[in-house]
């Protein structure tokens, strides 16, 4: 299979999914009204409810939904072969992914920016509010752990990365100031801030800068960073500390001051990387070599193709995280209902294309299956992507123009931004969820700083304690289960409004059964396969640390499964109630 054929299939999928299916649903079922006042205009508070132009909001939405999921997921999933991974990326997006993202925006807009917790109380049952909030909190915690390990342990410990990341954050703050305080033209703001960001990334690759961070990390002269505790080295400790600081500010500052403008600038860094990689692919036109279409049903360390592949590719096809961003974030910034499909559906299809690019870094950048394994395979997915993207961009001479190693550094900054721009939004949602669940009983949890600090302490525990691949599959299962619950809420909302609902009901059913199966497998794996054999399976960890990690993962899986089953049971009863009401004869 040639890379060009894969790109053509992806483009055809976008044309069919967005150009036909999505536009048909938008026009015939949802019927957006440009004259209706949106929550962003009705409740404008300058913090969460802030009207934003459709192009700015598109950048914010894409950068807020596209994190490490569409990158690492496909790179891990190709271990089952390239065909299952590619089919799920394209077909999952067409029939499920954009459906959830777009519908979540519209339910948020039509219901005055209410959270899923409030909507579940009304649409499902009174007890579902607390149950859903509990589920969401543990799910968000897994996101922080999965992304935090990659950023704090791997990406930020590369001495060529931190300065570039800091530059992007600073120019993102400048973009917010130029847009909302100085009232500058968006084109001028974009050009100035993106150029400054690129300069910052280049400066981070200079020998003097890398030497400075190497000394800080204890790796000067090629030395190994000293271990401080558990598996946490000096470099990893500093890396996770940077993650915590960045996420703290992103969670407590107004959205226009931090999250929205930084995500907007980061969007352009990501887009330039995608375009640069595409140009290289068109010049190179590589094939997959000996990479097989299918390898085996069960991959060691991961599990069976069904249900695990469908949760391993956690964002490139469908992601529950998107529903939270769309309903509680984007819906509160939408200027017009008619922008929803462009922002929500369009961003999801762009993410599908992005996931396809990540898929190609694994399958074609290294010449085939053996090259993929030699580059680290699924266990080193972040490294595979940054090296693969650099291989694409170097086809047109990026390293020759900006210095050897710039391409790999750009890819690493690219990945770091993909994660961080999500993580501070996750912490923001975690402190809102904890305030909703515990605020009445413990008023201190309503304080934004307390809720944020609690979330970050829990994040550090997960990052420092549990191995990455175990967190990743658990995060994927929770993520897709969140997507199924979001689709359930949307289905109930459509039924309550007397609208066609089959286009969300069947995706809900498929995702729910699949993810419950994945959680059941993880519980079995943690308590039956891994925990009793900790003495022989602990690898680089101590037996105690490995055993504790299995208990943590297993208990989180149990909590997620129980809460999801209760919500689904109440949801099915609500579906029957709405069906009975629709079938009842009208009163005279």
Q: Is residue 291 part of a domain?
A: yes
How many domains is the chain partitioned into structurally?
Answer: 1
Phi, psi (degrees; rounded to nearest 5) at 52: -135, 145
- Enclosing domain of residue 166: 3-121+132-583
298 sits in which H/E element: strand 298-299
- Report pLDDT for 578: 86
pLDDT of amino acid 51: 86
Residue with tokens 């609500």: 574
Q: CA-to-CA distance for 317 and 81, rounded, in angstroms? A: 17
pLDDT at 179: 87
Number of Cβ within a 10 Å radius of residue 317: 29
How far apart are alpha carbons 40 and 337 in whole angstroms?
11
Alpha carbons 46 and 50: distance in angstroms, whole number: 5
Cα Rg of the chain, angstroms: 23
Assess if residue 68 is contained within a domain: yes
Instruction: Tell me, yes or no, whether 127 lies in a domain.
Output: no
> What 3-state DSSP class applies to 364?
coil
pLDDT at res. 152: 92
Q: What is the DSSP string of 163-174?
A: HHHHHHHHHHHH
Query: What is Dmax (Cα atoms) for the chain?
Result: 86
Quick check: 382 and 139 in contact, CB under 8 A? no
d(CA 117, CA 486): 11
Residue 588 lies in a domain: no
Q: Before 307, cis peptide (omega within 30)?
A: yes
Residue 190 domain-assigned (yes or no) = yes
Q: What is the pLDDT of residue 342?
A: 95
For residue 513, count other CB atoms closer than 10 A to its CB: 13
Residue 191 domain-assigned?
yes
**What is the model's pLDDT at position 191?**
94
SS3 238: helix
* Token duo for residue 470: 């175990």
DSSP readout, 491-514? HHHHHHTT---HHHHHHHHHHHHH
Does residue 126 lie within any of the structural domains?
A: no
Q: What integer pLDDT is reported at residue 20 of this predicted model?
A: 95
Closest CA to 456 of 427, 417, 435: 427
In three-state secondary structure terms, 2 is strand
* CA nearest to 361, candidates 321, 389, 325: 389
* 39: in domain: yes
Q: Cα–Cα distances in Å, from 334 out to 10, 39, 42, 108, 357?
A: 28, 8, 11, 10, 29
Give the per-residue pLDDT at 586.
Answer: 55
What's the pLDDT score for residue 465?
A: 84
- Tens digit of pLDDT at every position of the chain (588 positions): 899 999 999 999 999 999 999 999 999 999 999 889 898 888 887 667 888 888 888 988 887 888 788 888 999 999 999 999 999 999 999 999 999 999 999 999 998 888 887 888 888 888 888 888 888 888 889 889 988 998 999 889 999 999 999 999 999 999 999 988 898 888 999 999 999 999 999 999 999 999 999 999 999 988 999 999 888 999 999 999 999 999 999 999 887 888 888 988 988 988 888 899 999 999 999 999 999 999 999 988 788 999 999 988 877 889 888 998 898 788 999 999 999 999 999 999 999 998 999 999 999 999 999 999 999 888 788 889 988 988 999 898 887 777 777 888 888 898 898 888 889 888 988 998 898 888 888 899 999 999 999 999 999 998 998 877 678 778 888 888 889 989 999 999 999 998 999 999 999 999 999 999 989 998 998 899 888 888 887 776 778 888 888 898 899 889 989 988 998 899 999 999 888 887 776 555
Question: pTM of this prediction?
Answer: 0.85
What does the pLDDT read at residue 47?
66
Cα 348 from Cα 345, distance rounded (Å):
5
């Amino acid at each position: 299979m040639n890379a060009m054929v894969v790109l053509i299939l992806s483009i055809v999928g976008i044309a069919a999914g967005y150009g036909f299916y999505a536009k048909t649903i938008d026009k015939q079922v949802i019927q957006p009204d440009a004259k209706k006042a949106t929550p962003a205009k009705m409740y404008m508070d300058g913090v969460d409810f802030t009207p934003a132009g459709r192009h700015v909001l598109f950048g914010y939405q894409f950068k807020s939904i596209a994190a490490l999921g569409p990158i690492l997921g496909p790179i891990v999933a190709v271990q089952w072969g390239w065909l299952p991974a590619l089919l799920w990326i394209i077909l999952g997006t067409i029939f499920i992914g954009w459906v959830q993202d777009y519908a979540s925006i519209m339910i948020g807009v039509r219901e005055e920016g209410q959270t899923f917790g409030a909507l579940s109380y009304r649409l499902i049952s009174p007890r579902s509010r607390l149950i859903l909030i509990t589920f969401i909190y543990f799910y968000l915690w897994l996101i922080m752990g999965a992304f935090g390990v990659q950023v704090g342990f791997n990406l930020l410990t590369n001495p060529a990365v931190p300065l570039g990341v800091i530059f992007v954050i600073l120019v993102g703050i400048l973009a917010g100031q130029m847009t909302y305080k100085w009232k500058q033209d968006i084109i001028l703001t974009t050009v100035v801030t993106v150029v400054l960001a690129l300069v910052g990334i280049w400066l981070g690759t200079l020998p003097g800068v890398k030497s400075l961070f190497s000394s800080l990390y204890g790796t000067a002269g090629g030395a190994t960073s000293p271990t401080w505790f558990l598996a946490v080295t000096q470099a990893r400790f500093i890396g996770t500390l940077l993650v915590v600081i960045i996420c703290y500010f992103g969670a407590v500052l107004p959205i226009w001051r931090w999250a929205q403008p930084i995500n907007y600038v980061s969007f352009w860094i990501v887009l330039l990387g995608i375009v640069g990689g595409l140009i290289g692919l068109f010049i190179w036109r590589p094939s997959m070599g000996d990479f097989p279409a299918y390898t085996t049903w069960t991959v060691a360390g991961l599990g069976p193709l069904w249900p695990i592949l469908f949760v391993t590719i956690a964002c490139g096809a469908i992601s529950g995280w998107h529903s939270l961003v769309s309903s509680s974030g984007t819906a509160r910034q939408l200027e017009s209902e008619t922008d929803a499909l462009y922002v929500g559906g369009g961003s999801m299809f762009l993410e599908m294309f992005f996931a396809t690019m990540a898929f190609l870094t694994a399958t074609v950048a290294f010449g085939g299956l053996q090259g993929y394994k030699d580059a680290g395979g699924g266990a080193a997915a972040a490294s595979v992507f940054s090296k693969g993207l650099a291989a694409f961009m170097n086809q047109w001479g990026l390293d020759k123009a900006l210095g050897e190693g710039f391409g790999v550094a750009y890819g690493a900054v690219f990945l770091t931004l993909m994660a961080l721009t999500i993580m501070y939004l996750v912490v923001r949602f975690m402190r809102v969820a904890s305030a909703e669940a515990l605020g009445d009983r413990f008023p201190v949890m309503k304080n934004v700083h307390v809720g944020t600090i609690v979330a970050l302490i829990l994040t550090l525990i997960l990052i420092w304690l549990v191995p990455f691949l175990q967190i990743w599959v658990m995060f994927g299962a929770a993520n897709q289960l969140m997507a199924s619950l979001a689709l359930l809420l949307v289905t109930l909302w459509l039924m309550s409004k007397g609208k066609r609902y089959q286009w969300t009901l069947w995706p809900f059913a498929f995702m729910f059964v699949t993810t419950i199966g994945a959680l059941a497998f993880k519980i079995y794996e943690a308590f039956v396969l891994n925990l009793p054999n900790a003495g022989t399976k602990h690898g680089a960890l101590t037996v105690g640390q490995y055993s504790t990690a299995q208990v943590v993962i297993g208990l989180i899986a149990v909590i997620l499964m129980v809460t999801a089953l209760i919500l689904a049971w109440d949801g099915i009863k609500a579906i029957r109630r709405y069906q009975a009401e629709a079938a009842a004869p009208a009163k005279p």
